[in-house]
């Protein structure tokens, strides 16, 4: 019998937050609107667990949406932050830490010959697109349905019904003229991108893609898809931009580009390179990065870019990555994916689990999920029931069907077994809907 949990303090905090923060949160997915109910307020975390304001403990699979590959508050990271903070938290001037982290990134990701640190993934992709437009003298960009690249205006688009697949704004406040240069293709459908290049090739500055999609849930690239994009860009003089804000250093030491063996012209990073602190970066070919001010004419700046705390955290985080760690995380990911699939099958619930290394998404559907359209066929109401049932059993999941789950070095076989046991009970609740 599952112990009933009461979230009195979280409810009070949410009520209070709604009087000062829009919607009571500082990022929409935190509001639990996709699963119903009120969000939990987290008080503290350690290892693979978070503790909410009411003192309830949970095995955490959100892990700050990916960057905490070593778990919450690892001792080495906390010590590195404490040492750095003693000397100051921000200077608005260069530090050696920026050089060291840049050298570390370059040593692990060979396509990044030069790097510029920024403060968020949104800023990284926005800056990379500006650079691509300046370097090519072209205005149009191509993105893919279901791939998220932050909240900059050019990316808040959806495909229209027009044959040309011109984007239309998905948010009020985004002028149509802002997105008129954004073209939308279908993820894992190389032909849809070829058609755009055939029609607009001389006008396209960049193709921007998540090499491993994580924002419609985890959707791996189909065989040949990324290599096909590389060849298409080469043929039409277009720059290939990989958004590895989530996948970078999550799926391997060389990121998704290393895993699938495709070299982009520019790469956008975030998450792990700051050890969980606010950070982002974009980098790539030396000749392209030399366009960035003050080396070149493309303006981009940031008061807190290269913040010493974020640089120190990133150095520790990247320095602690090893191939044995990735192998262990992949084993745990496969163990969890298999356990979820078995639990659903035994309960008679349709489920597809997409998993790559330490990332996975269970889709409540009986068909394979390989693009945005097939992801949308997943039953979000079933996921909401599953989410609430797991929360009641002490497992904290992403509050949306269309997000990735993340494991960390702090997760163990025991924590995965506990999760699978909870999932067996939760799947029975889903089956009774």
Question: Is residue 291 domain-shared with residue 357, that is, in the same domain?
Answer: no
DSSP string, 398-413: -SSTTS-EE--TT--H
Question: Is residue 311 domain-shared with residue 327, that is, in the same domain?
Answer: no
* Domain final position from 285, 319, 353: 319
CB neighbour class for 73 (10 Å; exposed up to 12, middle 13-18, buried from 19): middle
Sign of the torsion formed by the C-alpha atoms of 283, 261, 311 and 47: positive
List residues bridging with 353 in a β-sheet: 362
pLDDT < 50 regions, the chain? 1, 160-165
The pLDDT, as a whole number, for residue 227 is: 98
The pLDDT, as a whole number, for residue 168 is: 65
The count of residues in the chain is 433
- Summarised one tens digit per residue, pLDDT across range 231-244 is 999 999 999 999 99
CATH code of 98's domain: 3.40.640.10
Question: Is residue 68 domain-shared with residue 199, that is, in the same domain?
Answer: no
List residues bridging with 47 in a β-sheet: 72
Report helix, strand or coil for 23: helix
Question: Is residue 297 domain-shared with residue 422, that is, in the same domain?
Answer: no
* Domain assignment of residue 2, yes or no: no
* Domain final position from 301, 319, 337: 319
Question: Is residue 314 domain-shared with residue 346, that is, in the same domain?
Answer: no
Question: Is residue 243 domain-shared with residue 386, that is, in the same domain?
Answer: no
State which residues form the domain around 19: 8-73+323-431
Question: Is residue 347 domain-shared with residue 425, that is, in the same domain?
Answer: yes
Task: Work out how many domains the chain is built from and give that number.
Answer: 2
- Summarised one tens digit per residue, pLDDT across range 254-276 is 999 999 999 999 999 998 999 99
Question: Is residue 311 domain-shared with residue 361, that is, in the same domain?
Answer: no
Question: Is residue 235 domain-shared with residue 210, that is, in the same domain?
Answer: yes
The pLDDT, as a whole number, for residue 21 is: 96
For the whole model, what pTM was predicted? 0.95
Question: Is residue 45 domain-shared with residue 149, that is, in the same domain?
Answer: no
List residues bridging with 372 in a β-sheet: none
The pLDDT, as a whole number, for residue 165 is: 41
* Domain assignment of residue 3, yes or no: no
Sign of the torsion formed by the C-alpha atoms of 254, 257, 258 and 264: negative
Kindly give, in sequence order, each residue whose CB lies less than 8 Å from that of residue 31, ignoring residues fewer than 6 positions away.
23, 24, 25, 39
Alpha helices in 290-379 (DSSP H): 308-319, 323-347, 372-376
* Domain assignment of residue 239, yes or no: yes
Dist CA 402 CA 377 (whole Å): 11
Question: Is residue 361 domain-shared with residue 215, that is, in the same domain?
Answer: no
Could you give the angle at which helices 413-431 and 380-392 cross, rounded to 10 degrees?
Answer: 130
* Domain final position from 319, 350, 380: 319
* Domain assignment of residue 1, yes or no: no
* Domain assignment of residue 31, yes or no: yes
Question: Is residue 133 domain-shared with residue 262, that is, in the same domain?
Answer: yes
The pLDDT, as a whole number, for residue 162 is: 37
């Amino acid at each position: 019998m599952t112990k009933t949990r009461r979230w009195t303090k979280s409810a009070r905090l949410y009520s209070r937050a709604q009087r000062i923060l829009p919607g009571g949160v500082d990022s929409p997915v935190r509001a639990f609107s996709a699963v119903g109910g009120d969000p939990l307020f987290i008080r503290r975390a350690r290892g693979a667990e978070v503790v909410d304001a009411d003192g309830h403990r949970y095995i955490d699979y959100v892990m700050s949406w990916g960057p905490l590959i070593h778990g919450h508050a690892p001792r080495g990271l906390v010590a590195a932050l404490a040492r750095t903070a003693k000397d100051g938290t921000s200077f608005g001037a260069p530090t050696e830490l920026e050089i060291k982290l840049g050298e570390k990134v370059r040593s692990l990701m060979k396509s990044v010959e030069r790097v510029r640190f920024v403060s968020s993934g949104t800023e990284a992709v926005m800056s990379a697109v500006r650079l691509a437009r300046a370097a090519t003298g072209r205005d149009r960009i191509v993105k893919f349905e279901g791939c998220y690249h932050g909240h900059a205006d050019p990316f808040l688009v959806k495909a229209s019904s027009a044959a040309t697949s011109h984007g239309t704004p998905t948010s009020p406040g985004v002028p149509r003229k802002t997105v008129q240069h954004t073209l939308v293709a279908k993820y894992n459908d190389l032909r849809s991108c070829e058609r755009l290049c055939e029609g607009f090739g001389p006008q396209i500055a960049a193709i921007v893609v998540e090499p491993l999609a994580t924002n419609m849930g985890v959707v791996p690239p189909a065989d040949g898809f990324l290599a096909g994009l590389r060849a298409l860009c080469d043929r039409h003089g277009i720059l290939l931009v990989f958004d590895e804000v989530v996948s970078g250093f999550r799926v391997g030491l060389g990121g998704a580009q290393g895993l699938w063996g495709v070299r982009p012209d520019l790469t956008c990073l975030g998450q792990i390179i700051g050890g969980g602190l606010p950070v982002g970066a974009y980098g790539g070919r030396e000749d392209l990065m030399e366009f960035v001010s003050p080396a070149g004419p493309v303006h981009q700046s940031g008061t807190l870019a290269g913040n010493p705390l974020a640089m120190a955290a990133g150095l520790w985080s990247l320095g602690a990555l090893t191939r044995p760690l990735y192998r262990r995380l992949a084993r745990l990911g496969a163990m969890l994916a298999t356990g979820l699939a078995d639990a659903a099958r035994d309960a008679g619930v349709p489920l597809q689990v997409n998993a790559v290394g330490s990332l996975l998404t269970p889709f409540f559907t009986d068909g394979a999920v390989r693009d945005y359209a097939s992801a949308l066929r997943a039953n979000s109401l079933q996921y909401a029931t599953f989410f609430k049932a797991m929360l009641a059993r002490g497992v904290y999941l992403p509050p949306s069907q269309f997000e990735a789950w993340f494991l960390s070095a702090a997760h163990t076989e025991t924590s995965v077994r506990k999760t699978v046991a909870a999932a067996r009970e939760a799947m029975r609740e889903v089956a009774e809907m």
